[in-house]
Chain A
Amino acid sequence: MLSERRGVRGVVGVSLLSCLALVATACSGGGSAASTATRGVTINVALAIPSPPKASLAAFTKSTGITVHWTNIDWDSLQTKIAAAATAHTYFADATDVDWSRVGQLSKLKWFHPMQNYVDTKSLAADMPQMTSFTVGKEVVGVPFDASFLTTTVNKKMFADAGITAMPRTMAQYTADLRRIRSKGVVDHPLDIPFAAAEGLSTYWYQATAAFGGTVLDTHGRPRFTSPGSAGYKAAQWMVDAMRQGLVPPGNINTTDSQGTQTEMAKGTVASVFSDYSGNVGSLYDVPSSSTVVKQVGYLAPPGAGGPAPNLSNPDGIGIPQAAKYPVAAAKFIKWFTAADNQAAFAGLDGPDKTLRTYSLPSRLSAVHKLAAKGDLVGASAMSTMLASGTRPVFPGGAPSWYPQFSNAVYTNLHAAATGSLSVKGAIKAIAGTANRLASGS
């Protein structure tokens, strides 16, 4: 009887404790007052890339007293997490991803601490050309930690097999070369354009627009692509025509940018990606386990209207959310993470033990130069030249706060034009309508 009572009491006790735990969990706010402490603290870093090597992080902890807990979340989930946590004013990380396309939105929302309050961003800007992609007015929302930009890649062997001896410098030459590759039967469909209704299609169009000599939006966010003679209109027409004329594999209607590069360019089923990502030659096309075109692919300054076109920036940045528990410690980490020596090490300068897997190109020019000097960077000379003088932000005035809605209109309508369910004129009209509506604030 006694043991039965004890059993009942135990069950009651556990139930009460469970209730209390639930109530406590429900009532406890996620947010907490920020601390300026930098010693003996643990910060959470959430990014869509793997952690730096353990030894590197241990060295950082030893020198600063800050322990880093790293979470690698896929990009889409991370953006949702950032939005959900910021809206609920709850803490989830001390440092996290700042995507260039969301800079306008994040600046307006004040979801991140201004980085200029923690880091000397002015002096960094000279060594980080892509800092402009993270700046709105005087506010720096994040610090670029890699220097991803859009560039053209070509399978030089396929071009040579088609009898092409000089690499194209203009869009007209580039298109003619692609047609020649096709007509010579080197490959059936030489050009990769990822026509799936996803972000990669938007960025491809922005780069193609830059190639035709223009930008997509003006500084007020109004469309600059509505007239048939505009760069944006020509770029859309060129992309859709490439699909209709068979330069692009028909199946690319549902191919994303990563699928396009990984399964088409790396497997040698296309000869060129007009708007590829910097670093892909070293990290993908020259890797025997993932590629059948090792040492065949090289970078090319994007062909333009009358000569090489600018490369649009596509960098990844890191910032400090407003709900961060240890913003000062997070800033110390960001300084370390973006230091030139560390970036060069992450890119492979100091050997594989200090390499950060999937890290392609440092955001600091000085680190790129170091890699180029040591010969550790595939296509280093072309890349450092493009990074130093060729890269431009997609939106010179900063990405508008309504960018995600605009991009959605871009990729859904260009996709529809590629399928034939919409004309290029109709797609441009729909995209422009969305831009005008959003720019006017309605």
Chain B
Amino acid sequence: MTRPPLDTLPRTPQDTGADRDAAPGARRRRRFDPLPYLLVSPLALFIVALALVPAVFTIVESFFRVDALDPPTRFIGLGNFRSLLHSAAVRTAAGNTMLYVLIGVALSTVLGIVMAITLQHRFAGRSVLIAVLILPWALPGVVEGIVWSGIWDANSGLLNSVLTSLHLIDHYQTFLGHGRLETIALIELVQVWQITPLSALLVLASLQNIPHDLYEAAKLDGCSSWAAFRRVTLPLVRPGIAVAMVQAVIATLNVFDQPYVLNGAASTGSSVMAQTYFISFQNLDFGAGYALSLLVTAATLVLSFLVVKFVHRTVEF
């Protein structure tokens, strides 16, 4: 249910011709009202001071050698970016992070849609269930890492205990740290647990905008439930899915807490953000840290743009 005729709709006074038709004398010159600007100014200043200025600073400094142990600060062009590309740890972390993104975005989107559809229908205790489901999203990543370490732990973890009780394994298994893909998948599962509730709520908000008439019409046309989901629900919740995917992209590209708590600095799960931390605050090579942050920001923008381009559609009822 896209909106191709939108361009033809009148939207502004210029479009309607109202302004053009009005007599010049009748046009009242509007006095400049500073109030809206004043009201917005604290927030605008806040954003400029805490987001834009540091962003510009990061971009500029990423082209400088800013190393507390190797002063003075000096321009080195693309030197920081070159050294990052040559770093085996950064390359491994980049590969790991792409896996985090792939697994995290796919799983959180699918599960978010499933949860949203489940929650769409009213039932007793629905509000309570929504409140409970949102809890993981509200928890800090470090806390989640600690909680889940009690599940994955190879010596005394809950999962080993359950699997042993069910006679599915005869001795405790080590889940994290051996295979790279297995380690990343299990760590990302923890992050999916955190970000999926927000995805579900975003999709649920879109779902609730869909008029029920459309489903009735689809039913009259002989649509099965599955066909109605594919041809009515999915196309109409694309804005919600797109926003959910963008937030998942941002969260997974910036994953730090869960891998760090669950797997330390091991290369089997280390993320790009962990490398940014090590480079900046352990090695005190802030220039390279800025450069890596900039690359992560660029990757976030590109992936978010792709999601918006290929998933988002303007929907109007």
- The chain A residues found within 8 Å of chain B, CB to CB, are 8, 11-12, 15-16, 18-19, 22-23, 26, 79-80, 83-84, 86-87, 105, 108-109, 196-198, 249-256, 263-264, 269, 401-402, 404-405, 408, 411-412, 415-416, 419-421
Chain B contacts with A in 41-55, Cβ cutoff 8 A: 41-42, 45-46, 49
Is B242 engaged at the interface, CB distance under 8 Å to the other chain? no
Contact of A411 among B42, B45, B149, B265 (CB under 8 A): B265
Q: Cβ of B38 and Cβ of A16 under 8 Å apart?
A: yes
Is B137 engaged at the interface, CB distance under 8 Å to the other chain? no
B31 to A: closest C-beta gap in Å:
14
Cα distance, A80 to B265, chains bound together (Å): 16
Q: Cβ of B68 and Cβ of A87 under 8 Å apart?
A: yes
Given A83-B281, A87-B286, A251-B172, check contact A264 B155 (CB 8 Å): yes
Cα distance, A244 to B154, chains bound together (Å): 16
Cα distance, A249 to B171, chains bound together (Å): 12
| Chain A interface, DSSP helix/strand/loop, else mixed | helix
Q: Cβ of B282 and Cβ of A254 under 8 Å apart?
A: no
Cα distance, A269 to B34, chains bound together (Å): 71
Q: Cβ of B281 and Cβ of A84 under 8 Å apart?
A: yes
Is B35 engaged at the interface, CB distance under 8 Å to the other chain? yes
Given A254-B263, A415-B266, check contact A22 B42 (CB 8 Å): yes
Cα distance, A87 to B61, chains bound together (Å): 14
Q: Cβ of A253 and Cβ of B154 under 8 Å apart?
A: yes
Measured between beta carbons, the chain A residues less than 8 angstroms from B177 are 253-254, 415, 419
Is B122 engaged at the interface, CB distance under 8 Å to the other chain? no
Contact with A along B137-170 (1 / 0, CB 8 A): 0000000000001000111110000000000000
Q: Cβ of B265 and Cβ of A402 under 8 Å apart?
A: no
Contact of A254 among B38, B42, B154 (CB under 8 A): B154
Measured between beta carbons, the chain A residues less than 8 angstroms from B2 are none
Given A412-B267, A420-B178, check contact A254 B45 (CB 8 Å): no
Q: Cβ of A105 and Cβ of B41 under 8 Å apart?
A: no
Cα distance, A12 to B156, chains bound together (Å): 60
Cα distance, A250 to B38, chains bound together (Å): 63
Q: Cβ of A8 and Cβ of B174 under 8 Å apart?
A: no
Measured between beta carbons, the chain A residues less than 8 angstroms from B156 are 251, 263, 269
Given A22-B46, A26-B49, A405-B282, check contact A254 B68 (CB 8 Å): no
Q: Cβ of A18 and Cβ of B42 under 8 Å apart?
A: yes
Contact with A along B269-288 (1 / 0, CB 8 A): 00000000010011110100
Q: Cβ of A253 and Cβ of B174 under 8 Å apart?
A: yes
B181 to A: closest C-beta gap in Å:
13
A-B contact pairs, 20 of them (CB 8 A): A8-B35, A18-B41, A83-B281, A87-B286, A105-B69, A105-B284, A109-B284, A196-B266, A197-B263, A250-B154, A251-B174, A253-B176, A254-B262, A254-B263, A263-B155, A404-B278, A405-B282, A408-B265, A411-B264, A412-B266
Is B56 engaged at the interface, CB distance under 8 Å to the other chain? no
Measured between beta carbons, the chain A residues less than 8 angstroms from B38 are 11-12, 15-16, 19
Q: Cβ of A250 and Cβ of B266 under 8 Å apart?
A: no
Measured between beta carbons, the chain B residues less than 8 angstroms from A108 are 69
Measured between beta carbons, the chain B residues less than 8 angstroms from A415 are 177, 264, 266
Given A109-B68, A250-B154, A405-B283, check contact A11 B35 (CB 8 Å): yes
7 smallest A-B Cβ distances: which pairs?
A251-B154, A251-B155, A197-B264, A18-B42, A197-B266, A404-B282, A15-B38
B contact residues, range? 35 or more
A210 to B: closest C-beta gap in Å:
23
Measured between beta carbons, the chain A residues less than 8 angstroms from B172 are 250-251
Measured between beta carbons, the chain A residues less than 8 angstroms from B199 are none
A441 to B: closest C-beta gap in Å:
9
Cα distance, A411 to B263, chains bound together (Å): 12
B271 to A: closest C-beta gap in Å:
13
Cα distance, A276 to B278, chains bound together (Å): 26
Besides A79-B281, A251-B172, A412-B89, 16 other CB < 8 A contacts?
A: A11-B35, A11-B38, A19-B41, A87-B284, A105-B69, A105-B284, A196-B264, A197-B267, A254-B264, A263-B156, A401-B69, A405-B283, A408-B282, A411-B264, A419-B177, A420-B178
Measured between beta carbons, the chain A residues less than 8 angstroms from B178 are 253, 419-421
Q: Cβ of B264 and Cβ of A22 under 8 Å apart?
A: no
Measured between beta carbons, the chain B residues less than 8 angstroms from A416 are 266-267
Contact of B39 among A11, A256, A404 (CB under 8 A): A11
Closest B residue to A81 by CB, please name it.
B281
Q: Cβ of B264 and Cβ of A256 under 8 Å apart?
A: yes
Which of B41, B265, B266 has the most CB atoms of chain A within a 10 A radius of its CB? B266
Is B268 engaged at the interface, CB distance under 8 Å to the other chain? yes
A28 to B: closest C-beta gap in Å:
12
B140 to A: closest C-beta gap in Å:
13
Closest A residue to B284 by CB, please name it.
A83
Measured between beta carbons, the chain B residues less than 8 angstroms from A198 are 264-265
Measured between beta carbons, the chain A residues less than 8 angstroms from B265 are 197-198, 408, 411-412
Cα distance, A387 to B40, chains bound together (Å): 63
Closest A residue to B37 by CB, please name it.
A15
Cα distance, A252 to B154, chains bound together (Å): 8
Cα distance, A368 to B178, chains bound together (Å): 44
Cα distance, A83 to B278, chains bound together (Å): 12
Q: Cβ of B278 and Cβ of A408 under 8 Å apart?
A: yes
Which of B46, B172, B268 has the most CB atoms of chain A within a 10 A radius of its CB? B268
